[in-house]
Amino acid sequence: MNKNTEIKPDWRVIKIDEKGFWRGELAKSIDEMFGVYLYDENLNTYICSLTPSVELMFLGHDYGLVEGLSDEMAEQIHEAVLCTPVDEPVTYMDRRTVERLVAANPDRCAKATEFVDLSECETLNEIHDEARECFHTGSLSF
């Protein structure tokens, strides 16, 4: 038996409901707001906990607007969402929480390799950059 078996990454993309974090006029104008994150399903991280966490790399926001907004207001919201600073490009969530989110909303999780060719990426930064580029150009949508 080979004890040095390599476990290959299993890149996934998940949408997490974040509407509750938005306030004011913007919150009234959006129907739904998701943070979109990339993560390796095969990687567990332990941070100040005995239970495993998942490292979530932020790709961007996916949102829907309420009906009847003017084009000008829709553009203002789009700019506000795009220009919102990201304090944490990487965040951590308990593995069980991620599993519950996926089980409750399987349509909000997908294999990243269905949308993004990560075969040429050699570093974690390259993988994150490639996935972000695909998300922002619209080729990574589900």
Distance CA 52, CA 92 (A): 10
Residue 115 has what pLDDT?
Answer: 86
**Would 107 be classed as within a structural domain?**
yes
**Would 32 be classed as within a structural domain?**
yes
**Would 111 be classed as within a structural domain?**
yes
**Would 4 be classed as within a structural domain?**
no
Distance CA 141, CA 134 (A): 9
Ordered mean pLDDT values, 10 residues apiece, the chain (142 residues): 79 93 82 93 91 94 86 84 75 96 95 88 90 86 76
- Domain assignment of residue 115, given as a range: 11-137
**Would 2 be classed as within a structural domain?**
no
**How deeply is 46 buried, as exposed, middle or buried, from its count of CB atoms within 10 A (0-12, 13-18, 19+)?**
exposed
**Would 119 be classed as within a structural domain?**
yes
